[in-house]
A and B are shown apart, each in its own frame.
Chain A
Amino acid sequence: MTTPRFLQIHTLHAYSAALLNRDDTGLAKRLPYGGKMRTRVSSQCLKRHWRWAEGAHDLHAIPGAEKAVRSRDIVSRSVIAPLREAFDGEVLDAIEGEFQKAVYGEKATSSRQPLLLGYPEVAYLRKQAEAIAREYPSDAKAAGEAAAAFAKEARANFKQIREQTALPGGLTAALFGRMVTSDPEANIDAAIHVAHAFTVHEEETESDYFSVVDDLRGEDEDAGAAHIGDAELTSGLFYGYVVVDVPGLVSNLTGAEASAWETAERDMAAQVVEHLVHLIATVSPGAKLGSTAPYAYAQAMLVEAGDRQPRSLAGAYRKACRPLVADALERMRDHLAALDGAYGNGEARCAMSLEPVELPETQIVALPELASWAGNAVLNGKAA
C-alpha cells in the first residue's frame, strides 16, 4: 500500500517509416545516449498532441466537469470561510457578495460560469478579502463598499481571470501549466511532467527520395516529374516517461493547497488521470499524417504509484538494445529488479502489454483497467 503522490507512466511505442518530430533542418530530432544516436520526440510535441486530441478520452470531455465546477462555491468555501474565525461575520458576508460578482461577473447569482480557479487565484482573492476585512473590522457597509471599489478598479484583471480559468481551457492549464506573465504568484505550474521520448535502440533512418508526378500532363508534353525532393523517415521503438504530480494536479483543479490534497475533492483529478492514461497510450505524436500514417497504440505501459522521488527507467536503455518489444520489456524488468534490489520497492505497479511480460510485483491488466487503477489511486489516496 502506498500513498500515490506521484504517478509514473512508462511506455513503449513502435512507429515505422515516420517522421514524428523534426528540427529546423527538417531532420528527425535526435539524442546521443550511451554512445549510440537515438531518434527523439520532444516533450512539447507529445504534450501538444495529448492536449489537442479529440475522442472519447479527450481532456475537454471530462463527464460532468462543467457541472461540478459550476456548483463549486469556491468564493464562499475557499476564499471567505477560512477567514471566518478571525473576522466579523457580517463584514465577511458583505465582502463575499462583492467578490462573487467580481469573479463571476454580473450574472454571479443566476448562471455562474464554470471557472476552474486554482490555488493562485484562491490565494490572491483571500489575501485581498483579508486586507479589506482588516481595514473595516466592524463596519460591514464600509467593507462592502471597499470590496466593490476594489472589484471596479481591478475589473480588467477579473475579466482576465475569467477568460483564463473558464472551461475547457482552464483544464489544460491545470495539467500543462500556464506561464503568461512575469508574476510567479499568478502562474500555474504544470502538474504533468513529460520527458522527451527516445528510441531504445540506435537510430534507424532512411532518406526517402520522392518525386511528384503531374497526372494531368499530356503524353506529348515534357515527361519529367513536377517536383523531386527527399525527407527523412525513421523507425523506432520509443521509451516514453510521464510523471503526474498528484497533489499539484488536485491543487490546480480545486484551489486547495497542494499539501492538503488528501482532504480535497479529487473526483475530477481522478477522471483527468484516467483520460490521460488513455491519451498517452493511444494518441500519436505524428506529423506527416497523410504520407506516413504514424498511428500506433502503446506496445506496453507501466504505471507506478508512490511517494518516493520519481525516476525514469531511461537507464534500462542507456546501452542500446535490439529494436524488439520483447527485448525492451526484458530490459525494463531487469532494470526494475535492480532498482528494487538497491532501493527497495516503494511503488505499487500495474501494467498492460501486447506481449507476455513479467515485471517485478506488477499486476498485468488491459488498458481500461490500467486507466481506472491510476484514477482510483488518485481518488482513494492510496494504491496497491
Chain B
Amino acid sequence: MMPRHLVLTLEAPLMAFGGVTVDNYGTIRDFPAASMLTGLIANALGLRREDRQAHQRLQDRLVFAARHERPAGRVADFQTAKLEASDRGWTTRGAPEGRAGGAGTYLGPHLRYRDYHADAALTVVLRLEPADEAPTLDDLADALLRPARPLFIGRKPCLPSRPLIAPDPAASFIETQTVGEALETIPRHNKDALRALWPAGEGGTTRTDRALDLADERNWSSGLHGGTRRVCEGTIQPAKDDG
C-alpha cells in the first residue's frame, strides 16, 4: 500500500525558519526544521512545552519534504529590549532564576537582530511513521483545521495568511511512495523551477543539487538541538506539459 501524506501550505508576509542563533543574531535557514514543524503540530494538538516525550515522539515519527512556491525576500528586524540585572523569575525547581553578567552588561538596552523570510509560500508534505499510532495523520488534519491555539510559523508574530489545510479534504492528502514524489505531483501555480528539500532516500525523480547532514532535530528532553540527519536539496523542474 502506498503511504498517505498530509499536504500543508505555509504562507505569511513574515515567516522564520530559524537556524542557529549566534549571540544576538537570530538567523534563518531556507527550509523549515524538523523541530519547527514538530512544534507547529504540537501547538495545534494542544501539547504544553513540558510534554517533552510527546514532542519527541512526534519528531521521531515525522517524515517531511518542503517546496518553495516562489522566491522569498528577507528582512532583518532590529529589536531592543531593556534587561535588568535584577530580572528574576520563579521556577518549578524551587528557587528563583536570575540573570548573569556584570553591571556593564546592563548599561544599554539589549540589541537583537532577527531575520525573517518575507512573502514566502511553501508546500510541505508530511507523514507520521508508523501510520496507525496516535496521533494519526487524520488527527493532525483535524487539529490543524481547529487548532488548540493560534498557529504561528516559526515565531509568534508570524501569523499565517491562509489556512494551512486545503478547503477540499481530498486535496489535503496525497498517496505516493515518498514525500519527494508527492512534492513533484502536487500542482504548482507557475512554471518556475521550485527549490525543494527532502530526506535522503525519500526523493522522487528530481536531481539532488546537494546533500547535507542537517542538525534540525531537537532533543526535546534537554531542549537542545543535536545530531544530524541526511537531507537532499534540489530544484523541481516544471513538467514538459505544464501550463
The residues of A that contact B240 with a CB separation of less than 8 Å are none
Please report the C-alpha to C-alpha distance between residue A342 and residue B164 in the assembled complex, in whole angstroms: 13
Does chain A have a CB within 8 A of B132?
no
Whether A310 pairs with B89 at a CB distance below 8 angstroms is no
Q: With contacts A164-B90, A187-B89, A309-B163 known, what are 9 further pairs, Cβ within 8 A?
A: A6-B150, A40-B75, A157-B94, A157-B95, A159-B96, A160-B88, A181-B97, A196-B13, A314-B12
Chain A contacts to B: CB under 8 angstroms: 6, 23-24, 29-34, 40, 42-44, 120-121, 124, 127, 153-154, 156-161, 163-164, 178, 180-187, 189-190, 193-196, 198, 241, 243, 245, 247-248, 258-259, 307-315, 318, 342-344
- Selected contact of A180 from candidates B11, B89, B145, B158, CB within 8 Å: B89
A310/B150 in contact, CB under 8 A: yes
Cross-chain contact A31 with B147 (CB below 8 angstroms):
no
B72 CB to closest chain A CB (Å) equals 9
Q: Tell me the bound Cα distance from A196 to B147 in angstroms.
A: 22
Check B161 for interface membership: any CB of A closer than 8 A.
yes
- Complex CA gap A294/B161 in Å reads 28
A180 engages B88 (CB within 8 Å)? yes
Name the contact of A178 in the complex, choosing from B46, B89, B147, B164 (C-beta under 8 A).
B89
Chain B min CB distance to A267 (Å): 22
A183 touches B157 (CB 8 A): no
Partner of B96, one of A157, A194, A343: A157
> Closest Cβ of chain B: how far from A374's Cβ, in Å?
16
Do B119 and A34 touch (CB < 8 A)? yes
Query: B50: CB under 8 A from chain A?
Result: yes
Does the CB pair A32–B119 fall under 8 Å? Answer: yes
Point out the residues of chain A lying under 8 angstroms from B147, CB to CB: 309
Given contacts A156-B96, A182-B97, A186-B91, A195 and B146 within 8 Å (CB-CB): no
- State whether B159 touches A42 (Cβ < 8 A): no
Known pairs A157-B94, A180-B87; A190 contacts B156 (CB<8 A)? yes
Roughly how many angstroms separate A307 CA and B148 CA in the complex, as a whole number?
Answer: 9
A183–B97 contact, CB under 8 A?
yes
B144 x A309 contact (CB < 8 A) = yes
Q: Contact at A186–B89, with CB atoms within 8 Å?
A: yes
Whether A259 touches B163, Cβ cut-off 8 Å, given contacts A32-B73, A186-B90, A196-B157, is: no
Bound Cα distance from A44 to B14, whole angstroms: 14
Give the tally of cross-chain contacts (CB within 8 A). 158
5 inter-chain pairs at a CB distance below 8 angstroms, sorted by A residue, are A23-B76, A31-B75, A186-B92, A310-B150, A312-B12
**Would you call B139 an interface residue if the criterion is a C-beta within 8 Å of the partner chain's C-beta atoms?**
no
A42 touches B79 (CB 8 A): yes
In the bound complex, what is the Cα–Cα distance between A313 and B163 (angstroms)? 11
| Chain B residues with CB under 8 A of A159 | 96
Considering only residues 120-151 of chain B, those with a C-beta below 8 Å from chain A are 144-151
Query: B4 CB to closest chain A CB, in angstroms?
Result: 21
B49 is an interface residue with CB less than 8 A from chain A? yes
A243 touches B159 (CB 8 A): yes
Tell me, rounded to whole Å, the shortest Cβ–Cβ distance linking A227 to chain B.
24
Q: Contact between A185 and B92 (Cβ–Cβ < 8 Å)?
A: yes
Contact flags (1/0) for B27-64 with A, using CB distance below 8 Å?
Answer: 00000000000000000101001100000000000000
Which residue in A33, A158, A312, A343 is a CB contact (below 8 Å) of B119?
A33
B238: interface (CB < 8 Å): no
In the complex, whether B209 has a CB less than 8 A from a CB of chain A is no
The distance in angstroms between the C-alpha atoms of A241 and B157, with both chains bound, is: 10
Determine the residue in chain A with the shortest Cβ distance to B97: A181
Please report the C-alpha to C-alpha distance between residue A341 and residue B49 in the assembled complex, in whole angstroms: 36
Q: Which of A40, A157, A241 has the most CB of B within 10 A?
A: A157
Nearest CB in chain A: distance from B13 CB, A: 5
Assembled-state Cα–Cα distance A121/B79 (Å): 30
A309–B162 alpha-carbon span in the complex (Å): 9
**A203 → chain B closest CB, angstroms:** 13
Chain A, residue nearest B95 (CB): A157
Residue of A whose beta carbon sits closest to that of B46: A259
Taking a contact as CB atoms under 8 Å apart, the answer to whether A343 and B163 are in contact is yes
Interface residue B152 (Cβ < 8 Å from any Cβ of A): yes
Cβ A195 vs Cβ B91 within 8 A: no
